[in-house]
Amino acid sequence: MAITTHASCAIVGMTPEQASYLALQRARAAAIEQATGVHIVSSSLVTDGKLAADFIKSFSRGYVIKEKVRWLPLAQYQRTPDSPPVPEYGVQLAATVFVPDKQAPSLGLRASMNHTLFRSGELCTLTVSTRNPARIGVFNFTADGRVMMVFPSGNREVVTKGKGASISLPTAESGMELTMVTLPDHRQDAEGFFVAALPVAQKARWLEAFVPGRYMDVTEFFSQYARLSVYSEEVVLSYEVIAREK
């Protein structure tokens, strides 16, 4: 489905890079909202990073598999008539949104994190369970607009046993840690984990579709994921990371 949306973000308490990223994320969320008919967020203007969590969550409803971005001339935003104006980024997005027609029975996927707000340097643990056995893929949506498969890592698959039995990621034997950090010069970032499950009966493997540790842009990820999405189930976990005071 081809959709055109507009969005904006004022530079208030963030870097210009963050403002442009949030404007683009808002435009993507608006495109998914139009394609699915499901209301996601009410604000068309973002003045801080908190709403980025809602934008990331929108990716569980539809997938932007192609997009053309046109940045609008820099504008100004004022909270009140007597407040000083601040720069405002505006973007027009022509997006192709794929809404999957799920064909597999529900896997009963559940996922959670040990926190939703982290200080830079703190460790993250994910807890995942399914009602039926499933292969798990975990993808990180970073604050600079990229996506990376975190699990499986190496050549080792992550498989749940079903019946609600949970697993913790990273596993003790993996030797990995998920250390949460902000991007350089950022005071606060909003990111997310896209946790997906495939039935073990399906021949598809996450390691055949994605390369661990390789960064992709959002449309590249969803173009690939869309092929698996009719059989998969997903949960989006959003979080914020705050830089430590120097």
What is the pLDDT confidence band of residue 246, given thresholds at 50, 70 and 90?
low
Low-confidence winner among 66-75, 120-129, 152-161 (lowest mean pLDDT): 152-161
3-state helix, strand, coil in the chain (%, to 5): 20, 40, 45
End of a domain among 37, 68, 98? 98
Same domain, 157 and 74: no
The phi and psi torsions of 114 (rounded to 5 degrees) equal: -70, -25
Give percent of the chain above pLDDT 90: 59
Mean of the pLDDT values across residues 67-92?
A: 91
What is the pLDDT confidence band of residue 190, given thresholds at 50, 70 and 90?
confident
Per-residue pLDDT, 44: 60
Same domain, 153 and 209: yes
Same domain, 89 and 35: yes
Q: What is the per-residue pLDDT across 95-136, written as a single tens digit (0 to 9) for each? A: 999 998 877 678 999 999 999 999 999 999 999 999 999 999
Q: What's this model's pTM, rounded to 2 decimal places?
A: 0.89
Residue 141 lies in a domain: yes
Same domain, 129 and 166: yes
Per-residue pLDDT, 50: 59
Same domain, 140 and 20: no
Instruction: Report the CATH number that the domain containing residue 157 is assigned in CATH.
Output: 2.60.40
Residue 103 lies in a domain: no
Q: Using alpha carbons, select from 107, 195, 203 the residue that is nearest to residue 151.
A: 195
Domain residues for 178? 110-242
3-state SS class at 93: strand
Query: Which whole-number Å values give the CA distances from 178 to 35, 55, 125, 170, 181, in the listed order?
Result: 34, 22, 7, 7, 10
Q: Using alpha carbons, select from 118, 123, 139, 126 the residue that is nearest to residue 196.
A: 139
Overall number of domains in the chain: 2
End of a domain among 98, 130, 149? 98
Mean of the pLDDT values across residues 204-230?
A: 93
Q: Which residues pair with 195 in a beta bridge?
A: 138, 235
What is the pLDDT confidence band of residue 245, given thresholds at 50, 70 and 90?
confident
Per-residue pLDDT, 77: 86
Same domain, 196 and 148: yes
Residue 104 lies in a domain: no
First CA to last CA across the chain, in angstroms? 47
